[in-house]
A and B are shown apart, each in its own frame.
Chain A
């Protein structure tokens, strides 16, 4: 009896404390109401979140450009982590200490932040100002209630990077903009055969490099299969199957480094393509700027490269516009601020997502969300950028579907599709059918399907 008592007391103490605390949570709803008009003469300071500032110039570029146009507003940048940004933002919003303006990195958590956290201000008036503007698409941020809680400022899209020199030396015909994934496979098989004769080391040089991310397979399957976005929320993931069959085939034939190696040795796609260890690389347009700067610094070899439209689904009807995917990166405003601060924060978001922000971003070779002709000229005018017609076509002309469909449960579905389905299939620990079945069951068990 004596032995038990400390434990019992500890439990009782804990219980009492729970009771004490359960009652003292505070609830404070997002501030509603009208936004004051911006007074250009009032001195206002807003805080702005950015990640890895030394290596990511876009945040400082936007802040500087905006402050030049609005001399009385000061934008103060706070530093976040690129890897763990969402962990930090979740804490911030939970503690109501989020900065005045902050990026929404992708769409995976957008719904949770916008619909559930109450930490984001309504930006529908900015969305309305883009009505009828063909240069920007803000629809991905529209929630069921018709409101917008973020505006896009960056819109990358996935294209096929290819090494022109390697294709030429091997004597294989380069991408022409009409490829399906079957053509991609054929070209890779041909390269595999001919690259060694062209003087490339057969052991370390591959025709393609498929990075380890779930989006490299699932993003294409989701965006290029008809009806996949509905299936996604209904819990039918059979659309993934043909894409995984191809991915496994490439791996089995040695057309790319196998996934287990990629995963365990942290292979850098920049290194594989940049040092000519792979002739083709499906990747987001953000890589173009990196490649340019790495070729300048000597981290990457000097060679001719280009961007081609991403290969299309061989099982679907072809259309003139290639279908690809990528989430926009958006800016949101905190719901904790009001008055001039709110007005200034909104003005900043409007500026960054509009043409002026886009020009500033294109100058540093970042793909903006606002796509006018002059923005494209600025982008391809940057030093060292590929500027053949196919690259321009790949960059400008495509239908970009979201990587993460926006809805309740996206978080969970995406996580299960990654940890159970993607890693299960690619590591070879379960068959495609088993992994999809298990993932579907897991998602159902979480109770997030519509």
Chain B
């Protein structure tokens, strides 16, 4: 409803017949807008945007981090086409994200809705859910590796109980199952983080809306679908975009848990970017891979934007 109102206002502003008044409104809006944005934008422009933009040059250069990058056209991009590690990392990152994003979103949303009720002890459960995010990643990797141990791990003991002892996955030592393990741990780790964001969104919905709906005789489910879901659209959109970008950029978890292995089975783009830059001192090529990762994120994000706008109109 928010967007509908503002969209109506925009079209009104853009109408040609009130051009003078509109110009004044436009100027006032521009001035007000810039005043609000300035404190953040100045810092953002100088400290983040300028370095980021340089990447678009570095990705087309040869650079060892020392001195200035030397433009080398498409050389780096040609290298991408026959770099099997890059290709493995590309596929791994997509596989990881395709499973991790919906899984995390669904669990985090369910958890947030549950912990937004009058459930007794909800403050405790919220804190518990946030704990994986603040637990030392080294400790987390250690315990999960123990749980996933192919021979003696608790997880495989349970699986063997159901398969009659015949079969259990090899997890960390197996090129196919290592990714599954990584996804499980990543989801465990991040659910609480996104739950907090969703919870904040749920809390921002004004209570009056529910009150009015109750008076109109809407039951819980109707309220959920008619109020909670539409009001949550901006928040869910934000969570989805952030989750998507974070998933594509996953680095520290696999670095500590598997270091990309076994083989290249859990090597992710972000780790490859780091490795090529800082281990091989090849910042130019690393920049090229970063641009691929950037393009990947942006394509998905723009689709999400487009879909979100379409839904809102």
A contact set with B: CB distance below 8 Å: 3, 7, 14-15, 17-18, 21-22, 25, 27, 86-87, 90-91, 93-94, 109, 112, 116-119, 260, 263-266, 411-412, 414-415, 419-420, 423-424, 427-430, 438, 441-442, 445-446
For the complex, give the distance between the alpha carbons of A266 and B136 in Å. 15
Q: B66, A94: Cβ atoms under 8 Å?
A: yes
Which residue of B has the minimal Cβ distance to A409? B280
Q: What 1/0 mask marks residues of chain B from 43 to 87 whose CB sits below 8 Å from any chain A CB?
A: 000000110011011000000111111000000000100111100
B280 touches A90 (CB 8 A): no
- Report whether A87 and B278 are in contact in the complex, using a CB–CB cutoff of 8 Å: yes
Q: Which of B49, B53, B261 contacts A263 (CB 8 A)?
A: B261
With a cutoff of 8 Å between Cβ atoms, the chain B residues found around residue A260 in the complex are: 172-173, 262
A-B contacts, 7 of them at CB < 8 A, read: A25-B68, A87-B278, A91-B65, A94-B65, A411-B279, A420-B264, A423-B260
Q: Closest A-chain residue to B54, C-beta based?
A: A21
- Residues of chain B lying within 8 A (CB to CB) of residue A265: 142, 145-146
Residues of B within 8 A of A424 (CB): 262-263
> Which residues of the partner chain A approach B278 to less than 8 Å between Cβ atoms?
86-87, 90
Per the bound structure, the CA–CA distance linking A438 and B282 in Å amounts to 20
Q: Which residues of A contact B259 (CB under 8 A)?
A: 263, 423
A18 to B56, CA, bound (A): 7
Name A423's closest neighbour in chain B (CB-CB). B261
C-alpha spacing A424/B88, complex, angstroms: 14
Q: Determine which of A91, A415, A420, A429 lies in contact with B265 in the assembled complex, contact meaning CB atoms within 8 Å.
A: A429
Cα-based distance from A7 to B257 in the complex (angstroms): 38
Interface residues as binary, B250-274 with A (CB distance below 8 Å gives 1, 0 otherwise): 0000000111111111010000000
Q: Is B296 an interface residue (CB 8 A)?
A: no
Q: In B119-148, which residues have CB < 8 Å from any A CB?
A: 138, 141-142, 145-146
Q: Are A445 and B83 in contact (CB under 8 A)?
A: yes
- Contact A420 B85, beta carbon cutoff 8 Å: yes
B162 at the interface (CB under 8 A from A): no
Q: Are A118 and B263 within 8 A (Cβ)?
A: no
Known A-B contacts A423-B263, A427-B263; the reply to A14 vs B84 at CB < 8 A is no
**B163 vs chain A, min Cβ distance (A):** 22
State how many residues of chain B have any CB contact under 8 Å with chain A.
Answer: 44
CA separation between A3 and B313, bound complex, in Å?
13
With A265-B145, A423-B261 already in contact, the answer to whether A118 and B57 are too (CB < 8 A) is: no
Q: How many A-B residue pairs have CB under 8 A?
A: 108
Q: Kindly list chain A residues whose C-beta atoms are within 8 Å of the C-beta of B302.
A: 7
> B232: shortest Cβ distance to chain A, in Å?
24
Measured in the bound complex, the distance between the Cα atoms of B178 and A428 in whole Å is 14
Given known contacts A264-B258, A265-B146, A18 and B172 CB-to-CB distance under 8 angstroms: no
On B, residues with C-beta under 8 Å from A are 49-50, 53-54, 56-57, 64-69, 79, 82-85, 138, 141-142, 145-146, 172-173, 175, 257-265, 267, 275, 278-282, 302, 306, 309
> Which residues of chain B are within 8 angstroms of A18 by Cβ–Cβ distance?
53-54, 56-57
Contacts of B172 in A (CB 8 A): 260, 264
A442 contacts across to B, CB distance below 8 A: 83-85
Chain B residues within an 8 Å CB radius of A112: 64, 281
Bound together, the chains give a CA A429 to CA B88 distance in angstroms of 14
Task: List, in ascending order, chain A residues with CB within 8 A of B261's CB.
Answer: 263, 423, 427, 429
| A7 partner residues in chain B, CB cutoff 8 A | 302
- Picked from B64, B146, B258, the residue with its CB within 8 Å of the CB of A116 is B64
> A27 — which chain B residues lie within 8 A by C-beta?
67-68
Chain A residues, Cβ within 8 Å of B65: 90-91, 93-94, 117
Considering the complex, give the chain B residue whose CB is closest to the CB of A260. B173
Chain A residues, CB < 8 A from B142: 265-266
Nearest first, the 4 A-B pairs at minimum CB distance are A429-B263, A427-B262, A117-B66, A25-B68
Contacts of B68 in A (CB 8 A): 25, 27
Contact with A445, one of B57, B82, B260 (Cβ below 8 angstroms): B82
Q: Is the CB of A17 within 8 A of B53?
A: yes
> Is there an interface contact between B262 and A423, defined as CB atoms closer than 8 Å?
yes
Q: Please, which residues of chain B bring their CB within 8 A of the CB of A94? A: 65-66
A1 to B138, CA, bound (A): 49
Question: Closest CB-CB distance, B57 to chain A, in whole Å?
Answer: 5
Which residues of chain A come closer than 8 Å to B263, judged between CB atoms? 423-424, 427, 429-430
- A118–B263 Cα gap in the complex (Å)? 36
Q: CB-nearest residue of chain B relative to A108?
A: B279
Measured between C-beta atoms, what is the minimum distance from A137 to chain B in Å? 26
Q: Besides A90-B281, A118-B66, A263-B261, 13 other CB < 8 A contacts? A: A3-B306, A3-B309, A18-B53, A21-B53, A94-B65, A112-B64, A112-B281, A117-B65, A117-B66, A117-B67, A415-B275, A419-B85, A429-B262
Give Cα A393–Cα B38 distance, bound, in whole angstroms. Answer: 70
Q: Which of B49, B258, B262, B280 contacts A415 (CB 8 A)?
A: B280
Question: What is the CB-to-nearest-CB distance from B67 to chain A, in angstroms, rounded to a whole number?
Answer: 6
* Bound-complex Cα distance A116 to B67 (A): 9
Q: How many Å lie between the Cα of A442 and that of B267 in the bound state?
A: 15
- Smallest Cβ distance from A218 to chain B, in angstroms? 15
B20 → A minimal CB distance (Å): 24
| Contact A446:B280 (CB < 8 A) given known A265-B145, A430-B263 | yes
For A22, the chain B residues whose CB sits under 8 A away are 57
Please name all residues of chain A whose beta carbon is closer than 8 Å to the beta carbon of B257 when the two chains form the complex.
Answer: 264
